[in-house]
Amino acid sequence: MHSAQNSWLPVRAALQPDGLYLALREIPPAELRDAFMQETVARVAGAESILCIGRGDAAEMPADAAPAGIVFHVARCGSTVISQLLKEHAGLAVYAEPQPLNELLLPPQAWPRDDFAAALRSLGAAFARHAGGRYVLKLSSWNTLYCELVADAFPRTPWVLSLRDPIEVCVSLLAQLPAWLQESAPPAQRLYRLVQPDGAPRTAEERVARVFGAFCDAAARLVRGRGRLIRYESLPDAVWDVAAPHFGLAVNDDERRRMAAAGRRYSKSPVGRAAAYADDSERKRDAASDALRRAIDEFARPAYDRLRRIHGI
């Protein structure tokens, strides 16, 4: 375990030919209460500095600098519930969809695979120093396309994948496209080539269905023994029954009560403006068009069913 936190949070990252550059902001780990790390960065002012880790120095990582767990997900599936409830565990820092990791993973990735994995470990070590103890990385949904690369960078770290029925996920994505999936954005164009290298989809329904299927295909390539699938329907109980034990985190009665209380709140509420959680699964299923259902049956559900079979759920 680490002896002390240093409050210097990695908030930006860039790979250059000579090394990994990290922009650090002085933000205490206790401030990481927002649903997403970058919301904390926007909310909390602090001094900043730049750290350069030479390319030749990025290969080694202290044994205790790897995350206790990694949370992958397929978007709009309860992953924020997992990360917010894990924050109720004493002594654990949770970094939710950190921008530095997004910046490193966004293609084209500048370094060869082994060097790139070393850069990811160096970023992990910076999070470990900030946490001053155990920490969890909750990734952005599109990061799941690179889940093998992330898992290989931290070969002893267990992972969970938050999973929800593709109809409910795709209805949500169509209603509010994330920035990385908006067709006009250069990041989306680069990412979508991983999903459909031969050209653009015919419809928006096909686009979201193909992305969901690609998430499931990528997750199916991970080493099964290191991972657990967490179904949306099993939340919030699965946080203390599945995710925490899988990450080696013992949950005491007080932590469990706090997690249960947090599970009754909307997980993406801004700090200081808590709202009650309301299940919208039925409404989303009712809103699915025939065109979306056909696209899901062709491009998403086969991969979803295959992934569930692999993990026996």
CATH class of residue range 58-310: alpha beta
B/e letters for 34-48, b = 16+ CB within 10 Å, e = fewer, are bbbbbbbbeebeeee
pLDDT surpassing 50 at residue 188: yes
Location of structure tokens 């960078």: 153
Residue 5 has a pLDDT of: 57
Work out the pLDDT band at 107, boundaries 50, 70, 90. confident
Residue 13 has a pLDDT of: 98
CA distance 222 to 206: 25
pLDDT surpassing 60 at residue 1: no
Q: Please provide the DSSP assignment of 106-165 as one string.
A: SSSP-S-HHHHHHHHHHHHHHHHHHHTSEEEEE--GGGGGGHHHHHHHSTT--EEEEE--
pTM as predicted: 0.95
- The tens digit of pLDDT for each residue in 33-81 reads 999 999 999 999 999 999 999 988 876 667 678 999 999 999 999 999 9
Work out the pLDDT band at 157, boundaries 50, 70, 90. very high
What are the extents of the domains in the chain? 58-310
